Chains A and B, each alone.
Chain A
């Protein structure tokens, strides 16, 4: 089955700096890659997603890049703000199957 590796497990950055979280996947048939943000005790919320026919997608301060050949995708957050502090999960969905396989999460800490 699919396996998703996520790094780093914890990331601390200064407010205003950029943050990058990286994920790799194992199943070349995976074609949908969402990113979820989860604040303590709250539900995971989709922040951005990308499908395999696109290499990059941007939404204001958040961007995701996908390298299908290398089977990795990354989340980029620019101009980080205190409200960006949370756990971020990457996930992959295999074509023809709909359940998401998640990474273990990255705890992003924004230092004031």
Chain B
């Protein structure tokens, strides 16, 4: 089966610019996650969706980050405006349902200059 797809793979922007990332989960997976992985650290959960509803966004910096999954399939994560400390790999993961194994995409590497 196809894995979790993410695009773009790389993005370089200047601080205060905006950027958006896209994720297509494994077909049939109801639960979708966005994680932020800063260099040398483990992934950190930003937001979790169940179908098109938000389950947990307690660690999402809502003043600059937003995410949506309008039709319960694809998702986009947006940063506006970006800061230097947002430089990281943004990983999308999906699972069949809550509590099931999470499968990760290859990530989008963001560099903020």
Contact = CB atoms under 8 A, between A and B. Distances in A.
B45 A43 contact: no
A99 B42 contact: no
A98 B57 CA distance: 12
Interface residues of B, number: 24
- SS of A interface (majority): strand
B25 interface: no
Interface core residue of A4, A43, A102, A105 (most chain B CB under 10 Å): A43
B102 A97 contact: no
Contacts of B107: 43
Given A32-B99, A43-B106, A98-B99, A89 B48 contact: no
A104 B41 contact: yes
Interface string B38-80: 0011111100100000011000000000000000000000000
Contacts of B42: 4, 6, 89, 91, 102-105
A99 B103 CA distance: 12
A29 interface: no
Given A46-B101, A91-B42, A98 B106 contact: no
Contact of B56 (A97, A102, A103): A97
Interface string A89-112: 101010001111111110000000
Interface of B: 3-4, 31, 33, 40-45, 48, 55-56, 91, 95, 98-99, 101-107
Which 9 A/B pairs are nearest by Cβ-Cβ distance?
A: A102-B42, A99-B45, A43-B104, A43-B106, A44-B104, A98-B98, A89-B42, A102-B43, A104-B42
